[in-house]
Amino acid sequence: MIFTAKSLIYTCATGVIGLIFFYLFMSLGMHIVGIIIALAFAGIGFAVATFRIPENNSFTFTKRAGGEKIDEAILKWYKFKKKKNIIYTYTEDKGEN
């Protein structure tokens, strides 16, 4: 099966955004450019919902997030930015006697 429910929803949602650009370019007389942009947006939505981040030890990001779905990684990044990049670390304070 090519489309799961999630990938179909993502493809349709980003396709609607692409249709906005299609109508914008259609009003300028550039139909082909509008179609290409609309298909590109739908393809990006499908890729975000379907593919995973590749596991590669060359880059820090892919080392940490390798194998994770792209949409889940974007959601985690958004939640992290929403908290204003605060990272809490817990340490034990062992007093010297």
Read off the pLDDT of residues 5-44 as tens digits, 9 standing for 90 and up. 888 888 889 989 999 999 999 999 888 998 999 999 988 8
H or E stretch including 61? helix 60-65
Q: Where are the domains of the chain?
A: 1-50, 52-86
Instruction: Note the pLDDT of residue 88.
Output: 62
Query: What's at 83, amino acid-wise?
Result: K
Distance between CA atoms of residues 69 and 55, nearest Å: 11
Instruction: Note the pLDDT of residue 60.
Output: 67
In the DSSP assignment, the letter for residue 75 is H
- What's the mean pLDDT in 54-75? 71
Both tokens assigned to 94: 């062992």
